[in-house]
Amino acid sequence: MYRGRIAPTPTGLLHLGHGRTFYHAWLRARNAGGAIIYRNEDLDPQRCKPEFAHAAMEDLRWLGLDWDEGPDVGGDFEPYDQSARGDHYLAAWRNLRDGGWIYPCQRSRKDIARATVAPHAEDELSEPLFPVDWRNPVKDALDYGTPDGINWRFRVPDGITLRFSDAFAGEQSFTALLDFGDFLVWRRDNVPAYELAVVVDDAAMAITEVVRGEDLLLSTARQLLLYAALRLPAPSFCHLPLLCDENGRRLAKRNHATALKTLREQSIQPAELAIHWQSLKQACRIHLKSTNN
């Protein structure tokens, strides 16, 4: 059975880009006769706010979306708030530690930014590579009973190439230590990193396809390494183009002019937005049909 998910992060109001992506995640699940799961990705206690979580549900219902499982309707895989799933992430951290996949790291993002440059400077989605000579031996990890108070990084297999076929973006390929380096799985403030949390939750909730923005294509390569290390089945992926403003910059939560709540308060009708999504909607249907054959 197809199981998709809608997974907003409540750090601000959802904008048009979020609405379009979540709409297509919902659409693919409904076209496949499957289920859609709503997960509230409220991991960051400093930035995530309950009012934004509530607003996200209101905005998505305004767009006509519904879900079969979620924080407000329950389901077989509760809880659906990531802030309440700490035991799941801690168990995964232990498995990675015991398997020799991760190591403690004292380096900060500022340290890395000062020491390195992004692999493709013209690409705003690229990031600095963690220097190989800064790695700690993975055996040091066994000295730690908990991940608290220190960053933890996944040691990527040197030179391995991760390939996957994306339902919208096509064939993808990323090479470790060229396109990405050792990445965070746990933060020093005792919060699991995005990469680890979504892998654990998508596997636990039996998600069969992840629909999200193309800015997360590189994250998929890292997450495939985590699925393999944790011996979890990986879902398929569908990464959609990002919406940009009139200056060609991708939409951001700080731009309240494109917030769904703002449009809703201006009496914009969801059908008016859907008109602009028709071409992508048709493309998604074609890709979904092809993947089911």
Helix H segments across 39-169? 50-62, 86-98, 109-115
Return averaged pLDDT per consecutive 10 residues of the chain, 293 residues in all: 97 90 94 97 95 96 95 98 98 96 86 62 59 83 89 95 96 95 94 97 98 95 98 97 68 66 82 61 45 44
Q: Which helix (H) or strand (E) holds 83?
A: none
- Give me the number of domains the chain comprises: 1
Q: In this structure, what CATH number is given to the domain that contains residue 210?
A: 3.40.50.620
Residue span of the structural domain in which 83 resides: 3-292
In the prediction, which pLDDT does 213 show? 93
| 171: DSSP letter | E
In the prediction, which pLDDT does 106 show? 85
Q: What is the pTM of this model?
A: 0.87
User: What's the rounded Cα separation, in Å, for the pair 129 and 59?
Assistant: 37
